Amino acid sequence: MMAFDSLPWSAPWRLSLAGSEIAAARIEGAAGPASGTLVLRLSAAAVRRTADGVAGYLRPVELRLAQARCDGAALEELFGGIRAARVLQAGWVIDALPLPGHLDGAAAAPLVLELQLIHGTALRIEAGALTLGLAADAAAVFRESCDC
């Protein structure tokens, strides 16, 4: 069974990275990104509530990419609005990620996160796993979108 099949589709939120905003990026664990965990903290995560389909923004959300290898940007460039994004895993393109959720990569088919930031930076991150969740250091806040 593929890791894609194990996604928690009953999660309370669906995250769309496009339209979200990165507040900060950091490496946890070992000294280099290939052996540590890249943590992207979103100041505004574009989400849809699973229960009723209401769109809005949730904060603070963290993406944790284990054994991350990043091409295209330095850590200090990982901030701002996300224009376009996609997650690739074993031939699948995943546009809406369950939140909270976890997705495993594999040696033969690593998990890939591709981001195009509004300020022009494009990057590709390969990782062993992606974990999405609310940051532990603050209470979750959801605001409905005012888009008509």
The span from the CA of 105 to the CA of 114, in Å, is 14
Helix ranges restricted to H, 10-57: none
pLDDT in tens, 112-142: 999 999 999 999 999 999 999 988 876 788 8
25 residue type, one letter: A
Among 27-31, 71-75, 97-101, the range with the most confident prediction by mean pLDDT is 97-101
Question: Which conformational region is residue 107 in: left (phi greater than 0), alpha (psi within -120 to 50 degrees), or beta?
Answer: alpha
* Longest pairwise C-alpha distance within the chain: 46
pTM reported for the whole predicted model: 0.86
pLDDT in tens, 81-95: 999 999 998 888 988
> What is the Cα 143 distance to its own chain's centre?
19
- Asked if pLDDT for residue 7 goes beyond 90, the answer is no
- Asked if pLDDT for residue 97 goes beyond 80, the answer is yes
> What is the Cα 100 distance to its own chain's centre?
11
In the chain, what percentage of residues exceed pLDDT 70?
86
